[in-house]
Amino acid sequence: MQNQITFQFISEPSDVNYGGNVHGGAVMKWIDQTAYACATSWAEGYAVTLYVGGIRFYKPIHIGDLVKVVARVIYTGKTSIHIACDVHSRKLTEHKYEKTTHCVIVFVALDENRKPRASKKWEAHTDHEIALEKYAIRLMELRKGIEEEMRPFLADYFE
C-alpha cells in the first residue's frame, strides 16, 4: 500500500509574486493538492483538510523551475491522516533539487454522508518513518496548546 505521492511540474509565469518569484499562495495550493491526493488515496475515499500547520518557506522558487511536491503519510489516528509535505525545486539545467518548503497537513477521512470514518492504520517501519511518526505526535501535542491559546478568539465560531 502506497503512503506517498509526488507531483512534478514546471512553475509558470502566472505563479509569480510581486518580487518575481513563485507566490507563497501558489506553493500552498500545490501542497494542498498533493496532500489531498495522498490522503484520499490512503483513505480510499473522500478526505478533508482539518489542519495545516507550521508551513515553512526556506527558499524561493523561481519561474521556470522544475518543482517536486512530495506528500507522505506519517501518522494515522482513529479518523485522521497526517501528511508531511516537502516542496523541492531546481533549475531545469541542473540536477540537484533544493528543499524550499515544508509543512504538515491533517486530513479526516469521511464516509458517504460526510461524517468522519475510521482511517486505515499506517505503521512506521524504517528509522526515518519512526522519526516522522514521533514528529507528528509531538506536533499534535503542541497543537493542543495552540488551540487552547486560540480558543478565546474563536469563541464566535464555535458557538
- Give CATH superfamily name and number for 4-122: Hotdog Thioesterase (3.10.129.10)
Cβ–Cβ under 8 Å, residues 51 and 77? no
Residue pair 6/41 in contact by the 8 Å Cβ criterion? no
CB of 52 closer than 8 Å to CB of 39? no
pLDDT value for 156: 65
Q: Measuring CA to CA, which residue among 1, 18, 16, 98 is closest to residue 62?
A: 16
pTM listed for this prediction: 0.89
* Residue 152 pLDDT: 82
Domains in the chain: boundaries: 4-122
* Residue-level pLDDT at 65: 96
Residue 54 is predicted with a pLDDT of: 84
Counting Cα atoms < 13 Å in the Cβ hemisphere of 145 gives 4
Question: SS3 letters for the chain?
Answer: CCCEEEEEEECCHHHECCCCEECHHHHHHHHHHHHHHHHHHHHCCCEEEEEEEEEEECCCCECCCEEEEEEEEEEECCCEEEEEEEEEEECCCCCCCEEEEEEEEEEEEECCCCCECCCCCCCCCCHHHHHHHHHHHHHHHHHHHHHHHHHHHHHHHHC
pLDDT for residue 57: 96
Cβ atoms 85, 35 nearer than 8 A? yes
pLDDT by 10s per residue, the chain, length 159: 589 999 999 999 999 888 889 999 999 999 999 999 999 999 999 999 999 988 999 999 999 999 999 999 999 999 999 999 999 999 999 999 999 999 999 999 999 999 999 999 999 999 999 999 999 999 999 988 888 888 788 766 555
How many angstroms separate the CA atoms of 87 and 89, rounded?
Answer: 7
Residue 97: what pLDDT? 97
